[in-house]
Amino acid sequence: MAIYGIGTDIIQISRVAAVMERTEGRFASRVLGPDELRVYEARNARSAVRGLAYLCTRFSAKEAFSKAIGTGMHWPMTWRAVQTLNEPSGRPVMVASGELAQWLDARGISVRVTISDERDYAVSFVIAETVDAASPAA
């Protein structure tokens, strides 16, 4: 495997809380994919703090992902085109769909992600890898 790109993002949870308040909660449905949104809603129903932390880690992971693949938040990368889900073990994995999945497949890119949060911050790291030595310029 060769590293295609690395991305990291840290977000202040209070900033997302303010955006959620300002958008009356619509921010979550704009940023989260359908599977993420179901998990968010369940966690938020049990605990607003846990729901907000989940939203922040997913937002952070998408930002880190966009940096690792080198597109930023531009086509084919969109907020809902990639989701950070959990395997049964709890390990986070990023799952792309639509044009983004095709774009990644065409370049042989796979990703690894790690996420974490504390009371005030959420942070994510993403490593994009290729089987060969393809570069972002490819």
Domains in the chain: boundaries: 2-130
117 is in an annotated binding site: no
63 is in an annotated binding site: yes
* Average pLDDT score, the chain: 94
**CATH architecture of the domain with residue range 2-130:** Alpha-Beta Complex (3.90)
Q: Give the Cα-Cα-Cα angle 24, 16, 32 (nearest 5 degrees).
A: 75
Please give the average per-residue pLDDT across 44-71, as a whole number.
96
| pLDDT higher than threshold 70 for residue 135 | no
Please give the average per-residue pLDDT across 48-65, as a whole number.
97
Chain centre distance of CA 28: 13
Model pTM score: 0.91
Rounded to the nearest 10°, the torsion over CA 22, 25, 26, 30 is 110
Please give the average per-residue pLDDT across 68-95, as a whole number.
94
Between 132 and 51, the higher pLDDT residue: 51
Q: How far apart are CA 11 and CA 124, in angstroms?
A: 9
Q: How far apart are CA 135 and CA 138, in angstroms?
A: 5
Using pLDDT thresholds of 50, 70 and 90, give the confidence band for residue 73.
confident
Amino acid at 55: L
